[in-house]
Chain A
């Protein structure tokens, strides 16, 4: 058995020291951009709202921000006009029970048949706090990357065309782990 080496012999490739230095500086400049990753797993108002506030502010602050959207977190990212999602009766029933879309968020606590979100909505307008929709629009315009989870899309029966424009390529847990461990900060909200 013979072992072949693929390494070029030393000294065979002339390296321009200036080009190498410039490439190194450019690589460093790229690394210098701070990164924030948020895992958004919940479709409830009390979680998606702070997620969108932090994501839009990060992007506004020059921080590269990625949001991994998984499980019930996908539901607020279903486009307007799509009411029932899924192929089988359970998927369709679940979307009937929890209406998808950014304007139809429930609270995880104190929902009280919609009275909680209704009061929060009134207070939000009174104190001129941006709505989840406004924040989502701002975040998208500022370049926040929303990455939908392929497994969750399959399980809920949510197709790419059901999701809002500007969502990234669907990916899985390994992608989430990679971006989380490479980022300066990662949050699971």
Chain B
């Protein structure tokens, strides 16, 4: 059964391209398949970038939302 609990949060607030993606990839590398990871970012380009990154890596973009300047992505590790 897939987990619904967020195991890791990547705080990429304030960072510019490509560091939100790079930090997320580094944080996800040791995690087991199926876990949920939350990413917080303020880079407006990250909206398109996380969608593209999930398509090319096979990770699943479960949810994305905006709270003021902060974009929040929930990603399930492949």
A interface residues with partner B (beta carbon < 8 Å): 34, 53, 56-57, 59-63, 127-130, 134-135, 138, 141-142
Interface residues on B, range: 10 to 19
Q: What residues on B are CB-neighbors of A130 within 8 Å? A: 15-16, 18-19, 22
Closest to A34 in B: B56
| A130-B18 Cα distance, complex, nearest whole Å | 8
Contact of B16 among A60, A62, A128 (CB under 8 A): A128
**Are B18 and A142 in touch, CB under 8 angstroms?**
no
B interface residues with partner A (beta carbon < 8 Å): 14-19, 21-22, 24-26, 53, 56-58
* Main SS class of interface, B: helix
- Least distance between A58 CB and chain B CB atoms (Å): 9
- Least distance between B52 CB and chain A CB atoms (Å): 8
| A53-B16 Cα distance, complex, nearest whole Å | 11
| A134-B17 Cα distance, complex, nearest whole Å | 12
Q: What residues on B are CB-neighbors of A127 within 8 Å? A: 16
Given contacts A130-B19, A142-B22, A142-B26, contact A60 B14 (CB under 8 A): no
**Are A129 and B16 in touch, CB under 8 angstroms?**
yes
